[in-house]
Amino acid sequence: MKRILMIVGAVALAALFGAGAWLWTPAPRAFDAAAAIEAAKSYDARVIRDKWGVPHIYGARDADVAFGLAYAHAEDDWKTIEDVVLFTRGALAQVKGKDAAVTDYLVAALGANDAIARDYETKLSAEMRAMLEAYAAGLNLFCAEKKSRCAPGAAPVSPQEIVAGFAARTPFFYGLDKKLQALFEGDQSRAASLEWTRTAFLRIHKDAELGSNAMAVAPRRSSDGATRLMINSHQPFTGPVAWYEARLKSEEGLDIIGGLFPGSPLILLGATPDLGWAFTVNQPDLVDVYTLETDDPVNPARYRFDGGWKAFVRSEAKFRVKLWGPFSLPVKRAVYRTVHGPAFKTPSGWRAVAFAGDGEIRAVEQWRRMNKARDFAEWRAAMTMQAIPSFNVVFADREGRIAYFYNMAAPGRSPVHDWSAPAPGDRADLVWKGVLPFGAAPFVVDPPSGFVVNANNEPWRATSEQDSPKAEDYPAHLGVRAGSTNRGLREQELFAADDSITAEEFIHYKMDDAYSARSNLRRLIDETLSGADARAEEGLGEAMALLARWDGRANRENRAAALAISFGRNALGVLLNGEGAPIPDRRAALKKAADDLMAGFGRLDPEWGEANRLIRGNINLPLDGGPDTLRAIYSISDLSKGPGEAIAGDTHVVFVEWMPDGARRLRTIHQFGAATLDAASPHYADQAPLFASEAFKEPAMNLDALLKEATGDYRPGRR
């Protein structure tokens, strides 16, 4: 018996050691710091930090500039860039734990890295590959010099991983993740993991969606013959899709200032000396779901297609999930692909998903061509690539041209099928057939009205009513999203009423904090005030009286805005669009708003600026604006606990003017500052007071002027 126990104990001990070895996280990939330092010698970039710490990158070649940008951005925001790299590798779960496991699986299932491995050498130009290699070299130099700031295994970063960062993030802007969440409604763990990707990683909160404003006026609509462009993307204040400002200038024609995301070697929206563009999210219908009949409900090999059976293209996703200490769980999961796209086992059965940008790796190439464009013709030619699958785009240039495009990589769908429900996956006639031409989607160039605007609203209000595209000219299967926003309504009300717009008025319109009488919020309040039953509701008389006095604005001094907006958030959702409303019952929604304000502020009517705050380090400032105003400020704070903190909305804003003589004036602002993560830096929050006061700074675009105010001047790898 004793011998048996000894044998059992030995087996158990061996099993324990075996399990430990299996769970022990392997050593990170090797990083040759000396080789990275040597590789950096192939590039020569000059980084000059202006008085706000914003990097201006100079170099002889575009590749030199990309190298310098990578290094400068890493100095300010390395940990976010590192997270993006791990995301593109499908390796987040090894750092973030089980919540990121579905994200890692999706990276494999959506196939971006497979497409990059297949097409990197053939579908990206030599010029683009040179910039990508240089950008990766800049990140690797940073890690070679600052080893303690880079997680083991984060470096070396490859140029292919930079491309993957574009391919993996762009579908989130048109809502692919929401479509996938809908597939897994009966699987709470997977649906929650998809929500984690959006909220915890990308920091795109479900109640503070990606939005944006874009507006341009031609010389005929301005008071002084100037062309004006406002670039005003609404993003999270922090994270992988938060804006970072930089200026890039090479001797090969690259000369641009604007915003970019962590991991980008180029400006994503901004202005050159000759032209500029702004993006807003449009979320066209670029995803279709197909029901599949499979030969096995659990472990299928084939699916029914075109009268027969077709084999899945199968591969394997491999990743590790962090447990504790040095231990992580190795995971292997099958990946299935069909003629439509990736396939997933859902609570309702097997489904395939077709999505715009599947297999497309050229988004970064399109952005390079937009950055380098010298005129409207070159810029528009870049747009016809359609490698960037979505976004409204507003354009302006020094020649006085303005334009609006409802950009979408519209799939070639069957025009006779009803695409509002999942399509049968066995029908060959329902397979997407390429992408429709760029001109198939709504656009307007140089409208007689002299202005173009967009605030995430439908394209039928791109300019004046008579000059805008008409809905009846575009078929339903194209997938143009209908709907408006308060911001879109206010743009129309402001611009249509002013035929001679000054620079000051243009800024004032961008900073508008009013809700249109036609907005969801104002209509909710009007209907509530007109309801006799609500008026008589016990305990709400004071709240009703305060709502009746509200002037529809969200200025910081306003004493009715806190109640009105809190009521609207409860009854209509944080975006005030009627979606995801936590308390649809008006009486209950108003009572909750009133109770929250009494609990958090001791009164029903605190000034809006007391509740609406910009917080960064030791800075805590009042803000004008609110959800879905042109001065866009979003908060998800619980006002029953006191002042709220802004987390998204207006961030990096660029205002460009081209005067009649061709001279350009630039003004920019950022909600915080250039030092994204360094709380000890003087540039961690130095722009916050300007931002809160709705003021701009003027970047020094001349080298001599820049050097006079420079706070840093160095050559990465050559100091």
Give the mean model confidence (pLDDT) for residues 58-72. Answer: 99
* Domain at 520-652: CATH architecture: Orthogonal Bundle (1.10)
Res 517 pLDDT > 90: yes
285 near 408, Cβ under 8 Å? no
101 vs 33, residue with greater confidence: 33
Res 709 pLDDT > 50: yes
DSSP 8-state secondary structure symbol assigned to residue 482: P
Neighbours of 353 (CB within 10 A): 22
Instruction: Determine the Cα–Cα distance for residues 112 and 176; give it in Å rounded to an integer.
Output: 14
710 near 48, Cβ under 8 Å? yes
Least confident of 285-294, 319-328, 509-518: 319-328
Q: What residues form DSSP beta bridges with 279?
A: 393
Nearest to 74 by CA among 124, 123, 147: 147
C-alpha distances out from residue 386 to 210, 357, 391, 651, Å: 21, 9, 11, 27
Res 99 pLDDT > 60: yes
Helix (H, G, I), strand (E, B) or coil at 3: helix
pLDDT band at 25 (very low <50, low <70, confident <90, very high): confident
Give the mean model confidence (pLDDT) for residues 14-38. Answer: 76
Q: What is the pLDDT of residue 182?
A: 87
Q: What is the pLDDT of residue 535?
A: 47
Beta-carbon contacts of 664 under 8 Å, excluding residues fewer than 6 positions away, are 271, 273, 398, 656, 657, 658
Instruction: Determine the Cα–Cα distance for residues 116 and 123; give it in Å rounded to an integer.
Output: 9
94 near 343, Cβ under 8 Å? no
Helix (H, G, I), strand (E, B) or coil at 421: coil
- What interhelical angle do 363-372 and 376-383 show, nearest 10? 180
Q: What is the DSSP string of 629-652?
A: SSSBEEE---GGGS-EEEEEEEEE
The listed range with the strongest mean pLDDT (435-439, 480-484, 575-579) is: 435-439
Predicted structure pTM score: 0.94
pLDDT band at 26 (very low <50, low <70, confident <90, very high): confident
Instruction: Determine the Cα–Cα distance for residues 601 and 592; give it in Å rounded to an integer.
Output: 14
Helix (H, G, I), strand (E, B) or coil at 214: strand
Q: What is the pLDDT of residue 132?
A: 99
Q: What is the pLDDT of residue 196?
A: 64
Res 593 pLDDT > 90: yes
45 near 59, Cβ under 8 Å? yes
Task: Give Rg (Cα) of the chain.
Answer: 27
503 near 226, Cβ under 8 Å? yes
- What interhelical angle do 112-123 and 62-89 show, nearest 10? 160
Residues 242-288: tens digit of each pLDDT: 999 999 999 999 999 999 999 999 999 999 999 999 999 999 999 99
Give the mean model confidence (pLDDT) for residues 39-52. Answer: 99
Instruction: Determine the Cα–Cα distance for residues 445 and 396; give it in Å rounded to an integer.
Output: 10
DSSP 8-state secondary structure symbol assigned to residue 283: -
Give kind and range of the element (H or E) at residue 509: helix 503-510
Q: What is the pLDDT of residue 603?
A: 98
Percentage of the chain beyond pLDDT 70 is 92
Res 4 pLDDT > 60: no
Outline where 24-158 has alpha helix (H): 33-40, 62-89, 93-96, 101-110, 112-123, 126-145
Write b or e for each residue in 630-644: b if 16 or more Cβ atoms lie within 10 A of its Cβ, otherwise e: bbbbbbbbebeebbb
Res 28 pLDDT > 50: yes
Res 8 pLDDT > 50: no
Q: What is the pLDDT of residue 193?
A: 65
Give kind and range of the element (H or E) at residue 371: helix 363-372
Helix (H, G, I), strand (E, B) or coil at 496: helix
Res 2 pLDDT > 80: no
Helix (H, G, I), strand (E, B) or coil at 57: strand
Give the mean model confidence (pLDDT) for residues 652-658. Answer: 99
Average per-residue pLDDT for the chain: 93
Pull the structure tokens for residue 299: 């472990």
Residues 188-204: tens digit of each pLDDT: 666 666 666 666 566 56
Q: Cis ω on the peptide bond leading into residue 469 (within 30° of 0)?
A: no
Give kind and range of the element (H or E) at residue 235: strand 227-236
Q: What is the pLDDT of residue 371?
A: 99
Instruction: Determine the Cα–Cα distance for residues 372 and 255; give it in Å rounded to an integer.
Output: 8
Intra-chain end-to-end CA distance of the chain, in Å: 73
Neighbours of 335 (CB within 10 A): 20
Percentage of the chain beyond pLDDT 90 is 84
DSSP 8-state secondary structure symbol assigned to residue 683: T
Residue type, 461: R
Q: What is the pLDDT of residue 636?
A: 85
Instruction: Determine the Cα–Cα distance for residues 197 and 696; give it in Å rounded to an integer.
Output: 33
For the chain, the domains span 520-652
Neighbours of 507 (CB within 10 A): 17
Beta-carbon contacts of 152 under 8 Å, excluding residues fewer than 6 positions away, are 28
Q: What is the pLDDT of residue 163?
A: 98
Write b or e for each residue in 98-124: b if 16 or more Cβ atoms lie within 10 A of its Cβ, otherwise e: ebbbbbbbbbbbbbbbebbeeebeebb
Give the mean model confidence (pLDDT) for residues 298-310. Answer: 98
Residues 149-190: tens digit of each pLDDT: 999 999 999 999 999 999 988 888 898 988 888 888 777 666
Task: Give the pairing of strands 302-305 and 423-424.
Answer: unpaired
Nearest to 305 by CA among 284, 291, 315: 291
